[in-house]
Structure 1
Amino acid sequence: MPPATKPHVNVPARDDRAAIDKAISLLLSFGEQANSGVGVSELARRAGLSKSTAFRLLGMLERNEVVERVGRNYRLGSRLHELGSHVYAPGHDRTRDLLIPYLADLYSLTQETVHLAVLHGTEVVYLAKLFGHRPVPAPSRIGGRMPAHCTAVGKVLLAYEPATAAEVLAAPLRGFTPQTITDDSALAAELDRIRQDGIAFDDGEARPGLNCVAVPVMGPGGRPVAAMSIAGPAERFEPRLRSPQLRRVAAAAAQEVLRARRAASAASRTLVS
């Protein structure tokens, strides 16, 4: 008699990823539900892990306060937020707190989406964002980063930071849309113009159909401490018409920066004496 045929058994492929890789996959799997929470089974499915492995890793992450339980679900924990805050310069929080009232003034004047951003390396970090009554899809988000060369806030900050600008110009310039400046000579010329005019424009360079205008908030020594911008959809938003309002608010914000620096300097002298 022929030998009996053994039934075919599907053996799951071995997952050779290191534990840290699996844990990072889990953290990335939260997506937009990072605050509201996700169940173990769904996280395991998204991360490509078995439920038992996901449960074990979540337990380890929970003990380290990287995730926390919300009923039967998990969400990102406080430790991650603390770690994220250390990525940026300590002065960024002070800059945001000092300039938020002026960003609110800009929003009140325009009713458009407005941003407050700073330079971090060759990228911009968005410290604050207020959405207009008719918000437009934009790649910016609070705490998020974008390459400086493709945004109005980034270009206006690069224009006053020659060393950082040189670093940007020496590297390949990624194109996000057909309008993004990807030629180093063209970008260098654009930064020269911005430095002369004190204002930058983004005509669909970061996202098609999104226009933006930005100016620096100047600090002592003629260097910007941040940039403010107004953004809107190209079909109805004309950045150049908003320039006077933006310049006025940024000038008032710059005066506040100088007052704060003088007050801090006076307080320091008092402590020393």
Structure 2
Amino acid sequence: MSAHSLAFERPVTPPPGTAAALSDQQTAVDKALVLLKALADQDGEIGVSELARRSGLTKSTAFRLLGILQRNDMVERVGSDYRLGTRLFDIGARVYGPVSLQLRERLLPHLADLYVLTRETVHLAVLHDTDIVYVNKLHGHRATRSPSRIGARLPAYCTAVGKALLAFDHDAAEAAVLAGLPQLTEYTITDPTTFRAELDYIRRTGIAYDRQEAAHGLTCVAVPIMGPGGRPVAAFSVAGAEHRFDRARFAPALRRVAYEATRAVAALTRAQPSTALV
């Protein structure tokens, strides 16, 4: 055997300080992930002092790591505050495949139209197993505290977008029922018979509602966006505070925009026949 081969088999002793450096690197990664999680739990921007407090880090450490994350487009700076960067969504969206990205890009103009018509917070979501994933969101002028964030997952059974999608996907709806319908608020539908009746209503009317079922004080109205074969590929919703939000008032705008979005999905399918949207 050649000396060259033996060189590859001989155990290599790391130089002094290497193990410590690796440990420090892991610690920095851990701290960066804690910062990202704190940002993910925040609806909107947040300052470095509050981020440091929530993360258990010193302000100087948080500021240094935020600078690194910002240079890599993982966070964005808005004045003196921070929020998650779009690069994180691009990475996270790959968990759900390229279809979510295609829908996000193709349907963004229609989501913007819905925002212009309502001036409220609007969402685009897709179904993933028995959860919904928010792939886009535009904040209204009177934003309401909400668990919805781009890239976030919520149980489909207690959200308007989720019910709009489950109503036209029998297998997913039954899977959601079999998995259980835990009560998130006192308004959450937890009885399977009542839930199936709710989905039947949505199929007949084409409109789904969330009446504070996912979070207190939050109400939504949603419609599905249909794809090939009459199956839903995504859903739009309009959300607002329960005390001032008239859900039924936004149904015409939702129907109008969903109709145009369905046409856009059909055009995408014709242009790319191999695209599996459902």
1:262-273 pair list within 5 angstroms: 262-265=270-273
Secondary structure at 1:211 match in 2: strand
Give distance in 1, aligned partners of 2:99 and 2:252. 28
Could you tell me whether the CA contact under 8 Å between 2:164 and 2:224 is conserved in 1? yes
Give the TM-score taking structure 1 as reference length.
Answer: 0.72
- In the other structure, the counterpart of 1:7 is none
- In the other structure, the counterpart of 1:203 is 211
| Structure 1: gaps of 5 or more residues | 1-18, 267-273
- Large movers: runs of 4+ above 3 Å: 19-26, 35-39, 45-50, 65-68, 75-83
Specify whether residues 102 and 38 from structure 1 end up closer, same or farther in structure 2 by C-alpha distance, changes over 3 A only. Answer: same
Give the TM-score taking structure 2 as reference length.
Answer: 0.71
Output the amino acid matched with 1:85: A
Give distance in 2, aligned partners of 1:226 and 1:169. 20
- In the other structure, the counterpart of 1:254 is 262
Specify whether residues 174 and 262 from structure 1 end up closer, same or farther in structure 2 by C-alpha distance, changes over 3 A only. Answer: same
Match of 2:246 among 207, 228, 238: 238
- In the other structure, the counterpart of 1:167 is 175
Deviations 1:130-185 (A, max 9, x none): 11111111111111111101100000101111111111100122222111112222
Specify whether residues 200 and 66 from structure 1 end up closer, same or farther in structure 2 by C-alpha distance, changes over 3 A only. Answer: closer
**2:120 is equivalent to residue 118 of structure 1:** no
Secondary structure at 2:190 match in 1: coil
Output the amino acid matched with 2:187: Q
Give distance in 1, aligned partners of 2:86 and 2:150. 17
Give distance in 1, aligned partners of 2:26 and 2:165. 37
Give distance in 2, aligned partners of 1:173 and 1:166. 11
Output the amino acid matched with 2:94: H
Specify whether residues 184 and 23 from structure 1 end up closer, same or farther in structure 2 by C-alpha distance, changes over 3 A only. Answer: farther
Could you tell me whether the CA contact under 8 Å between 2:222 and 2:254 is conserved in 1? yes
Give distance in 2, aligned partners of 1:81 and 1:261. 24
Q: CA RMSD in A?
A: 3.5
Give distance in 2, aligned partners of 1:76 and 1:243. 31
Could you tell me whether the CA contact under 8 Å between 2:89 and 2:150 is conserved in 1? no
Give distance in 2, aligned partners of 1:211 and 1:261. 33
**2:34 is equivalent to residue 28 of structure 1:** yes
**2:135 is equivalent to residue 138 of structure 1:** no
Could you tell me whether the CA contact under 8 Å between 2:93 and 2:101 is conserved in 1? no
**2:110 is equivalent to residue 102 of structure 1:** yes
Could you tell me whether the CA contact under 8 Å between 1:22 and 1:47 is conserved in 2? no
Could you tell me whether the CA contact under 8 Å between 2:89 and 2:151 is conserved in 1? no
Output the amino acid matched with 1:220: P
**2:218 is equivalent to residue 215 of structure 1:** no
Give distance in 2, aligned partners of 1:197 and 1:67. 41
Specify whether residues 104 and 122 from structure 1 end up closer, same or farther in structure 2 by C-alpha distance, changes over 3 A only. Answer: same
1:59-70 pair list within 5 angstroms: none
Q: Based on CA coordinates, which of the two structures has the bigger radius of gyration?
A: 1
Could you tell me whether the CA contact under 8 Å between 1:26 and 1:47 is conserved in 2? no
Alpha-carbon distance, 1:23 to partner: 5.4
Task: Tell which deviates more after alignment, 187-196 or 216-225.
Answer: 187-196
Deviations 1:100-151 (A, max 9, x none): 1011111111111111110011111111111111111111111111110110
Alpha-carbon distance, 1:85 to partner: 3.0
Specify whether residues 205 and 81 from structure 1 end up closer, same or farther in structure 2 by C-alpha distance, changes over 3 A only. Answer: closer
Specify whether residues 194 and 81 from structure 1 end up closer, same or farther in structure 2 by C-alpha distance, changes over 3 A only. Answer: closer
Specify whether residues 36 and 215 from structure 1 end up closer, same or farther in structure 2 by C-alpha distance, changes over 3 A only. Answer: closer
Give distance in 1, aligned partners of 2:35 and 2:254. 39
Could you tell me whether the CA contact under 8 Å between 2:104 and 2:135 is conserved in 1? yes
